[in-house]
Amino acid sequence: MNGRASLSGKPYSAGVRIANWNEDTYLEEMQLSVSKDGFVHFGDTVMLLSPENNKSPTENYPAACGNLTLAVTPDDITVHTSESLQVPCGLSAVKSVNPVGRNAFRILSVEGNSMGEPIRFGQNFGLGATGGFTDQMLYLASDHKSFMRFAKKSYLQQVFLTDELSYLTCWQATFLDPQLRLEYEGFPVPANTKVLITHCHTNRGLAVPRNYCIRSYFGKEYEVICHTYLDSHKAEEDKNYWIIVTANPSDDGITMFDRPKPPSEETREREKNELYAGT
């Protein structure tokens, strides 16, 4: 039988071929960009990861634990019938931290900056997604909440994908510590480090509340919104934290986020003492 095989290795039947091809594309492994200088650049392909908050499940309840990544969430009909990403298209936070078509985004220049230049704190940029397809890119956008446009679960400011670049698709990276924020304005944005991602038009932060579940074609996922959560010290909460993840230059199969952390001085000293004790 002629025809493309599925990811499981079995050939598709004619009736499900298009739907399965599309699903495979959304879930097909993607290669992220490697950052040679440790910064994020225009043109980079990255993942946007909402890091776990290190609280126990009891403290988090009913919110989701673990790391989540921003992903495109096409409706069921689009997955089955369209061979490209189409508007309207939503977004969600998913538990997969492996780079695939759904959760890979490209850093875009919106002010004429050259590809390969590092983006800087306080500088506008766009975020584009293809869902793993090659012929259509959509752009991460948001707008003020209205009677017609709001997040379906939290009723807060919605995020969505659009096919037009505009002031609604401009974002900025903000330094995490509010006391050092002004000092770091204009400095390059480091990759694989916690930052805030702020929507320029509404001045609200991209966020994952983690306690609003949604159902998509791909299963149980979590709502993503634009809302700035502040603690009692007027600092952003971990719901607004993001890590812009790049590839590990020494291994094609993992990202920098998955790269093993070097041992601490205390760990090295303990291992050395154990080694000497055993001789």
Q: Do the Cβ atoms of 111 and 127 come closer than 8 Å?
A: no
For residues 149-171, average pLDDT = 96
Q: Mean pLDDT over residues 16-39, rounded?
A: 82
Is the pLDDT reported for residue 269 higher than 90? no
pLDDT in the model for residue 14: 44
Residue-wise pLDDT tens digits, 108-136: 999 988 899 999 999 999 999 999 998 88
Confidence of residue 6 (pLDDT cuts 50, 70, 90): very low
Region 149-162 average pLDDT: 96
Helix (H, G, I), strand (E, B) or coil at 151: coil
Domain ranges of the chain: 21-257
Contacts of 103 (CB under 8 A, 6+ apart): 47, 48, 69, 70, 71, 72, 94, 96
Mean pLDDT of 132-143: 93
pLDDT at 136: 87
Higher pLDDT, residue 175 or 250:
175
Q: Average the pLDDT over each of 20-34, 97-111, 211-225 and give the range with the smallest value.
A: 20-34
Contact yes or no for 238/53 (Cβ under 8 A): yes
Q: What topology does CATH give the domain 21-257?
A: Trefoil (Acidic Fibroblast Growth Factor, subunit A) (2.80.10)
> Who has greater pLDDT, 83 or 229?
229
Tell me the pLDDT tens digit for each residue of 212-236: 999 999 999 999 999 999 999 999 9
pTM assigned to the model: 0.83
pLDDT score at 45: 98
Q: What's the confidence (pLDDT) of residue 15?
A: 42
* φ and ψ of 202, to 5 deg: -105, -10
Confidence of residue 243 (pLDDT cuts 50, 70, 90): very high
| CB contact at 8 A, 92 and 221 | yes
What does the pLDDT read at residue 116? 95
CA 105 to chain centre: 7
* 3-state secondary structure labels for all residues of 7-66: CCCCECCHHHHHHHHHHHHHHCECCCCECCCCECECCCEEEEEECCCCCCHHHHCCCCCC
SS3 108: strand
Confidence at residue 276, expressed as pLDDT on a 0 to 100 scale: 53
What pLDDT, in 10s, does the model give residues 173-189?
999 999 999 999 999 99
Q: Compute the CA torsion angle 204, 191, 112, 176 (nearest 10 deg).
A: 30
pLDDT of residue 277: 60
